[in-house]
């Protein structure tokens, strides 16, 4: 089964582009903050597209853009992998 890209994926990529390690809950909170503001084009974003924790974790797990740090613990952190590191 192929993963269908969701609306929130580009916002997660935008938030994680700075390379900082974050917990899933921190990513959700940052999504809530960024979705309540206006986008650069002037349109307002809506918080209805903020994913549930399990949906966000699934995206981070199957995407080759992110790595899981602290694997096997209850507090997993995620980090974006540089594109040139994947090649």
Q: What is the mean pLDDT of the chain?
A: 82
pLDDT at 87 over 50: no
Distances (CA, A) of 55 to 12, 48, 75, 84: 12, 14, 17, 27
* Band of residue 23 on the pLDDT scale cut at 50, 70, 90: very high
Q: Report the pLDDT averaged over residues 3-22.
A: 87
Q: What's the predicted TM-score (pTM) here?
A: 0.78
Half-sphere exposure of 85 (CA within 13 A, CB side): 9
**Pair of tokens at residue 59:** 């995206």
pLDDT digits (tens, 9 = 90+) for 41-65: 777 767 777 889 999 999 999 988 9
| Higher pLDDT among residues 5 and 83, named by residue | 5
């Amino acid at each position: 089964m192929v993963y269908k890209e969701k609306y929130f994926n580009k916002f997660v990529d935008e938030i994680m582009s700075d390379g900082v390690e974050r917990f899933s809950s921190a990513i959700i909170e940052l999504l809530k903050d960024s979705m309540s503001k206006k986008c650069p084009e002037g349109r307002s974003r809506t918080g209805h597209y903020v994913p549930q924790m399990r949906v966000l974790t699934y995206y981070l797990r199957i995407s080759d853009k992110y790595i899981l740090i602290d694997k096997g613990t209850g507090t997993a952190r995620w980090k974006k992998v540089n594109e040139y590191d994947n090649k």
